[in-house]
Structure 1
Amino acid sequence: MGLQINQEAPDFEADTTQGRIRFHEWIGDSWAVLFSHPKDFTPVCTTELGYMAKIQPEFERRGVKIIGLSVDATEDHERWADDIEETQGARPTYPIIGDADFTVSKLYGMLPASTSGDAKERTPADNQTVRNVFVIGPDKKIKLILVYPMTTGRNFDEVLRVIDSLQLTANHKVATPVNWKQGDDVIIAGSVSDEEAEQLFGTWRAPKPYLRIVPQPS
């Protein structure tokens, strides 16, 4: 069975473009986003890595660290970064994991455990399942898993939106409704009784008894 939400993110040691790391130690007390790629020098991934470089300050403002992964060696990542900077106008300054031995991809269920051989002999299509986004909390538990096909570029603005929701709901007894964005009304969590809700929120709007709507807590 693959990884699931609220499961602890597997720890690992790996080489990155910024040196060797132990993943949990690298996360520290921060939130983290791990996003993976099937191979270096692939077109869609080139645009994604460049966009993440551009919006990295938005993640940092939320206390979130970014780390990439690609099924190639770190030396290839450095050469790829030149292309990313040239074509996308931004160079990744976050670490990118070298996973030429498939260790992390297999640990996170993105490649079968039986995967072996020389990464350079594999095509992007061979690794097409290595297209995941994992959002991990300071408790080292997985909060979100997204999996994209190779032909569809990822929406990292949506990842930021989800992180806003995750951080809000981790600190307040609320949930966020469909298409919620920062500043919109929220829903009082179902685990909160009316008595507790009155103490926490005062009054609320309730089109149904189970649908209690309040302004976003600050």
Structure 2
Amino acid sequence: MEEMKTNQGLPLIGDKAPSFHAVTTQGEINFPEDYAGKWVILFSHPADFTPVCTTEFMTFASMADEFKALNTELVGLSIDSLYAHIAWLRKIQELEWNGMKNVEVKFPLIEDIKMDVSRKYGMVQSQSSTQAVRAVFIIDTEGIVRTILFYPASTGRNFDEIKRVVLALQKADRDHIATPANWMPGDDVIVPTAGSCGTAKERMESTDEDQYCLDWFLCFKREKKS
């Protein structure tokens, strides 16, 4: 028997984020139209009242203001019902973990019982036909998918890394650079590779104190320390 098809397709980096209308714990939304001009982290989780997801929602909620300061909104998704969502988020407020307590989840959590949104974003994969995997889509101000992360059910997400990716994408867009391995805000950045022999020669012979090259194709710009 042919295996049941669970996905309608997975948007790729650089694609327009698939549009949808949804009911959430914060009212109805039209995505991504309602978030024009803002960055968005759209993330899914397998089910309400699951241990790993509970710690993740507590962490995301505790960092919501940090993301807002980066012009970034949070949108969650689960294949559970709206009423299950509400009950779970109310229970989260009663919990205390890792220094977090009285955590109120104010960002929208999508009801996706029919799996319409999950399938549009490739969130339902072979491990289950009734649960969304632990996915993260970082979408820019133009509604373009810029980063995709998938985690197995057993592994909680690293939210400092998710925030670092947002910072790196915004830095790259703003300054037209790239970020090296393990980049953190304030670290030196990579300038675009030389596009001609002349430019490569100029860079290698440059006396600019704000820039240095390991070789013609790998040049860095020093970040000014505040």
Q: Same fold (TM over 0.5)?
A: yes
Encode CA deviations 1:31-81: one digit per residue, 9 max, x unaligned: 000010111111100110110000111100100011100111111111000
2:179 is aligned to: 176
Deviation at 1:84, TM superposition (A): 1.4
Looking at structure 2, the residues matched to 101 and 2 of structure 1 have their Cα atoms a distance apart, in angstroms, of 17
- Per residue, is there more helix in 1 or in 2? 1
Residue of 189, 212, 216 corresponding to 2:219:
212
Listed as ranges, the gaps of 5+ residues in structure 2 are 1-8
| Greater mean alpha carbon deviation, residues 19-28 or residues 157-166 | 19-28
Looking at structure 2, the residues matched to 146 and 29 of structure 1 have their Cα atoms a distance apart, in angstroms, of 22
Deviation at 1:27, TM superposition (A): 1.0
Aligned length: 207
2:55 is aligned to: 47
Listed as ranges, the gaps of 5+ residues in structure 1 are 116-123
Cα gap change, 1:125/1:26 in structure 2, threshold over 3 Å: closer, same or farther? Answer: same
2:3 is aligned to: none
Looking at structure 1, the residues matched to 194 and 168 of structure 2 have their Cα atoms a distance apart, in angstroms, of 17
Establish whether residue 156 from structure 1 lines up as the match of residue 169 from structure 2.
Answer: no
Larger radius of gyration: 2
Looking at structure 2, the residues matched to 208 and 71 of structure 1 have their Cα atoms a distance apart, in angstroms, of 51
Looking at structure 2, the residues matched to 180 and 75 of structure 1 have their Cα atoms a distance apart, in angstroms, of 41
Query: Is this contact kept in 1: 2:210–2:222, CA < 8 A?
Result: no
Cα gap change, 1:3/1:191 in structure 2, threshold over 3 Å: closer, same or farther? Answer: farther
1:104 is aligned to: 117
Deviation at 1:214, TM superposition (A): 1.0
Query: Is this contact kept in 1: 2:36–2:142, CA < 8 A?
Result: no
Looking at structure 2, the residues matched to 207 and 191 of structure 1 have their Cα atoms a distance apart, in angstroms, of 13
Cα gap change, 1:182/1:87 in structure 2, threshold over 3 Å: closer, same or farther? Answer: same
TM-score normalized by the length of structure 2: 0.84
**Once superposed, what is the RMSD of the aligned Cα atoms?**
2.5
Cα gap change, 1:46/1:203 in structure 2, threshold over 3 Å: closer, same or farther? Answer: closer
- Identity rate, percent: 39
Query: Is this contact kept in 2: 1:177–1:186, CA < 8 A?
Result: yes
Looking at structure 2, the residues matched to 146 and 136 of structure 1 have their Cα atoms a distance apart, in angstroms, of 12
TM-score normalized by the length of structure 1: 0.87
Deviation at 1:86, TM superposition (A): 1.5
